[in-house]
Amino acid sequence: AAGAWRREGHDVRLGVNLSFQNLHRLTLPEELERLAKANGVPLSGLTVEMTESSVAQELATSLEILTRLRLRDIGLSIDDFGTGFATMDHLKKFPFTELKIDKGFVWAAVDDLTARTIVESSVFLARRLGMTTVAEGVETSEQWDLAARVGVDVVQGWALARPMPEDEFRAWLNARERG
């Protein structure tokens, strides 16, 4: 579907969540490249998302696979940032391009100074590392405003749109780009 959307002129990025098992298949970079090309999705329009725990198991294999993905211009996102054990070490070792701030911090940041400080610090850290920031789970205008105020690059959540079937998404996307 993403290839069709791009052929229609929509500049959409495709995010793919990977499990621990996928991240340790040495053929993964070649498989993703083949699938993307077969579906008309440029590798630069693809982002692989993984949780902190998925890269923690076998670091050497994870590093090799993630590096090979980046060499193909595929983006790498660390999902649910702040909920795992080795976050800072992962940011140092792996070539991530995107940092997704966990929705628990985003939700709490509106009313809680500690959570807001964590969100602000995450945005600052990502900027210094040349990464894009995503606020997960944005559901209210207050959360949206807070994300904008602290400099988050992208919001993800029901405040933008609820999950929808492809035909509804296409209509939503067309309306959004027109207006």
Active site residue ranges: 136
Pick from 92, 97, 148, 93: which is nearest to 120 by CA? 148
State how far Cα 12 lies from the chain centre. Answer: 13
Strand intervals (E) in 68-164: 75-81, 98-101, 132-135, 154-155
Pick from 45, 44, 47, 136: which is nearest to 98 by CA? 47
Classify 38 as helix, strand or coil. Answer: helix
**Separation CA 56–CA 78 (nearest Å):** 12
Determine contact, residues 16/49, Cβ cutoff 8 Å: yes
CA distance readout (Å), 141 to 79, 83, 87, 137: 23, 24, 29, 12
